[in-house]
Amino acid sequence: MPNVKVYNMKGEEVGVVELSEEIFGAEVNRNALHAVVKAYLANQRQGTQSTLTRAEVSGGGRKPWRQKGTGRARQGSTRSPQWTHGGIALGPKPRSYRTSVNKKIKRLAMFSALSSKVASGDLIVIDNIALEEYKTKAVAAFLEANGVNGKALIVLDKVDEKVIKSAANIPAVATAQYNSLNVYEILRYGKMVITKDAVAKLEEVYAQ
């Protein structure tokens, strides 16, 4: 089983936590990661883009010139696709981009994402994350003390408005609860800063 050091908000080592081999020590399955991330991004699309066809643009009710004898190509409407201000041929129309991935692949992708963080040393376990007041500087100081300088995802074991709102002002830093984690967010952010209790709850959820 992989072991990870536990730190406090000052960056001091306060212990070691033993992680689940199944969840945090799994072999990274790139195919599962690709399928889940692709489905996640597709499901974020609204699918509301729409272009006007030649039947929907205004004008073009009459034939621009007679069929024969002008020396020009025959035209039936000034709203055909080849005309300026004409309709769009084969353009996008509103549709759903939703796609689904079965639970087995989702689970495999989640284990792969979490395991990749442990393998790369980008999983930082904190004994407890708590603030006495709404203060962005306190979150920035706590991240810096733990060696986090770039993109980071802070994973909490419960909703803490002080931490969430204080972290919201820091570019490239996001917060999430253990029960709302998704593979895309885990992979998107370089460091994953997670509370010790959130680790325990994650293992409890995925042990079922």
Average predicted confidence (pLDDT) for the chain: 93
For residue 133 the two structure tokens come to: 């007041």
For β-strands 13-18 and 3-7, DSSP reports them as: antiparallel
Q: Of all helices (H) and strands (E), which one includes residue 126?
A: strand 123-126
Range 155-170 average pLDDT: 93
Range 20-31 average pLDDT: 93
pLDDT digits (tens, 9 = 90+) for 122-161: 999 999 999 989 999 999 999 999 999 889 999 999 999 9
Find tokens 């000034």 and name the residue: 78
Range 174-196 average pLDDT: 94
Asked whether the predicted pLDDT for residue 38 surpasses 70, the reply is: yes
Asked whether the predicted pLDDT for residue 26 surpasses 70, the reply is: yes
- Under 8 Å CB-to-CB from 147, ≥6 apart: which residues? 11, 124
Range 49-78 average pLDDT: 94
Distance CA 125, CA 7 (A): 6
The overall pTM is greater than 0.85 = no
Q: Residue 109: its pLDDT value, please?
A: 96
Asked whether the predicted pLDDT for residue 56 surpasses 70, the reply is: yes
Residues in the chain: 208
Distance CA 147, CA 166 (A): 19
Amino acid at 67: Q
**Beta carbons of 150 and 191 less than 8 angstroms apart:** yes
Q: What percent of the chain has pLDDT over 70?
A: 100
Range 17-34 average pLDDT: 94
For residue 185 the two structure tokens come to: 């967010």
Range 38-51 average pLDDT: 95
Under the banding of pLDDT at 50, 70 and 90, the label for residue 60 is confident
Amino acid at 77: S
Distance CA 185, CA 197 (A): 20
Sheet holding 123-126, edge to edge: 13-18, 3-7, 123-126, 191-195, 152-156, 173-177
